[in-house]
Amino acid sequence: MNRYFICMEETHSIVRQFALPEPPTNVTPLGEGFINDTYLVDTESEVKYVLQRKNGYIFKNIPGMVDNICNVTQHIRKKAAAQGLDPERSTIRLYPTWDGKFYFLDNKQSYWVCMYYIPDTICYDVASSPQLAWSGGAGIGLFQEQVADFTDDLAEVLPGFHDIRYRFGQWEAALAENRAGKVSALAREIDWIEQRKEEMLAFKVLIENQTIPSRVSHNDTKISNILFDKNGEVLCVIDLDTLMKSSVLYDYGDAIRSYTNTATEDEPQTNKIAVNLPFFEAYTQGYLSYAHRFLTQTEVEWLPFAAKYITYEQTLRFLMDYIDGNRYYKIRHPEHNLVRTHAQYALLQSMEKAYPQMQAVVSEIYLSLHFQNKIL
């Protein structure tokens, strides 16, 4: 994962490369660091900063990623200021190095960034209630509304991400190579993928021809990437490494995939797995409370399908990695990716069964919000 041991003396040296308003006094590890290595920077005042080493194994164009973050957050800060909000609590702020760049490249060819630490905030690891699911939806909807009028180009930091046409190319190659010798025993699972290819490609065509428009998308919509104030109100979205131009329906679909699963992503007893419709309704209400202001009618109509699309894509990716010898996802045992495949497929089947209800929920919420707006 492109990691190396770094001592605290090195982090002190690195953070001093950034033009911070106050000199740093202490640097300590922050969080578990599954992707990036993150540190909290103390100063003589109450102001703190976050120092972060970006993962060069996953992200191949970190300068482009940093440009994306700078441009989008500057856009959000300007809008927040115009609305009378505190720009420093409405999005993250990166600080430049002394030579004016917003990243530092160390002698081990690793990229570092430094940002303002937003104080007095709450962060949740999971959405444990419909109320939190509503808040998670509101957080992503707010972010997407803030950047709905952002028209500049963004670097593609994860090529092929959520591109099912690209995934099918990988799929065909994996089947042909049959690296782990598993294909002959997976006729049932392979058919799960093959029988749905046509409808998934049809959705992708709508995105390719801009019937469903390209917008700024976050691409990592878990609730832990949303900051709340002490009263539980949404402040802003963080962890902007995966900002790209794509369909915002991907963000919604991925959130529904994770928020509404009644079990874990690798639950072996698939009878425990279903889409939690109260959580689906709550997330959708929170999301559309902001997103109804900019989404087109076509985008709204395809929101429920986006949940199926992303769940299908994840089923395909787990199965493909199993066929390919478990080279991408970390596993705890040799059959782990197959267990994940079955679990994701069970969730997909539940979504397919509940699809008319999901469509009705989206339509009812959207129409209700528009009716309220007309009255106001």
79-120 pLDDT, tens digit each:
999 989 999 999 999 999 999 999 999 999 999 999 999 999
Count Cβ neighbours within 10 Å for each residue of 337-368 and write b for 16 or more, e otherwise.
bbbbbbbbbbbbbbbeebeeebeebbeebbee
Q: Which residue has the tokens 């994962």?
A: 1
Q: Which residue has the tokens 């699809």?
A: 355
State percent of the chain over pLDDT 90: 89
Instruction: Report how far residue 328's alpha carbon sits from residue 168's, in angstroms, rounded to the nearest whole number.
Output: 16
Tell me the pLDDT tens digit for each residue of 302-348.
Answer: 999 999 999 999 999 999 999 999 998 889 999 999 999 999 999 99
Mean local confidence (pLDDT), 231-256: 96
Higher pLDDT, 361 or 8: 361
Instruction: Report how far residue 21's alpha carbon sits from residue 116's, in angstroms, rounded to the nearest whole number.
Output: 10
**pTM, full prediction:** 0.92
Q: Which residues contact 94 (CB under 8 A, 6 or more apart)?
A: 66, 69, 70, 73, 102, 113, 114, 115
Average pLDDT score over the chain: 94
Q: How far is CA 234 from CA 141, 231, 375, in A?
A: 11, 9, 26
Mean local confidence (pLDDT), 228-241: 94
